[in-house]
Amino acid sequence: MIAFSESFIDRLRSAERVAVLTGAGTSAESGVPTFRDPGGLWQQFKPEELANMDAFLRNPTLVQGWYAHRREIVEKVMPNPGHLALAELEMWITDRGGSFSLITQNVDNLHQRAGSRNVIELHGNLTRNYCVNCGRDATEEDLAAFSKDGELRCPKCDDLIRPNVVWFGEMLPPEAIENATYASEKSDVFLSIGTSAVVYPAAGLPLIARQSGAFVAEFNIEPSAIASEMSEVILGPVGESLPQLIQTLQG
């Protein structure tokens, strides 16, 4: 059983506003590869080769194929106990009249499938796709028509279809980053979960919370790039540590 510090549990029990930032480590135990861990998505390809507009225009079939592969994975897997614990934590906080914001860098839709309600998608959602020219939303039929050696093109104007995710060098959705920054600034407790904290501006959010006086706890299997700034670091797989947090809270 993980021993959370008394001050953490006290702060969480008395918190009126809780914000959470999640990264790919939250979905690892569902079977969704992370980016930077051994065997992660970036091991075979470099981010600059895939997750940016230049790479997409240079080789649309490669990038569209990579996202088609990731869609197949996320459609097959289930939310894990860590996702479910975060949905429970949201209910625990809001049932007491508190506010709860789940800010995610993940694009796999698993928080929504786990029942989390107030989800702020910083980097988009790969289950949504659109035409780069006319903006038409791609349908399941359009996506199903994608063949590995062809290009996924808009049936209306024949331009390329892209995933609705934020690539490197692209601005984050203004409303999402605004809401996420506000929630971080106002939070009494901030949880940074399953993220290497190397991608900005997302990785800056736990630091904003800390500077605003929040108690910031990191949940990871190893210290992240910002671990030294945390009030508490809880090491262990989130599929175990988050359900234990709920158990301790309700204890």
Q: Nearest Cα to 250, choosing from 5, 85, 7? A: 85
Q: Could you confirm whether 111 is annotated as catalytic?
A: no
User: Given the complex with ligand BV8, which of 51 and 180 has the nearer CB atom?
Assistant: 51
User: Given the complex with ligand BV8, which of 187 and 192 has the nearer CB atom?
Assistant: 192
Measured over the CA atoms of residue 197, residue 167, residue 161 and residue 136, the dihedral's sign is positive
Q: How far is the CB of 100 from ligand BV8 (least distance, A)?
A: 20
Which of 69, 83, 111, 123 is flagged as catalytic?
A: 123
Which residues bind to ligand BV8, rule: CB under 6 A? 23-25, 28-29, 34-37, 40, 51, 105-107, 123, 165-171, 194-196, 198-201, 220-222, 224, 237-238
Q: How far is the CB of 27 from ligand BV8 (least distance, A)?
A: 9
For 137, the 3-state DSSP assignment is strand
User: Given the complex with ligand BV8, which of 17 and 204 has the nearer CB atom?
Assistant: 204
Report the distance separating Cα 76 and Cα 68, nearest Å.
12
Q: How far is the CB of 16 from ligand BV8 (least distance, A)?
A: 27
User: Given the complex with ligand BV8, which of 123 and 210 has the nearer CB atom?
Assistant: 123
Report the distance separating Cα 171 and Cα 145, nearest Å.
30
Strand pairing class (124-131; 161-165)? antiparallel
Instruction: Please identify which residue in the block is written with the tokens 């993220």.
Output: 195
Q: Are the C-beta atoms of residues 54 and 60 closer than 8 Å to each other?
A: no
Instruction: Please identify which residue in the block is written with the tokens 């895939």.
Output: 50
The residue with its CB nearest to ligand BV8 is 25
Q: How far is the CB of 161 from ligand BV8 (least distance, A)?
A: 15
With a CB cutoff of 8 Å and minimum separation 6, the contacts of 136 are 130, 154, 156, 157
Active-site residue set: 123
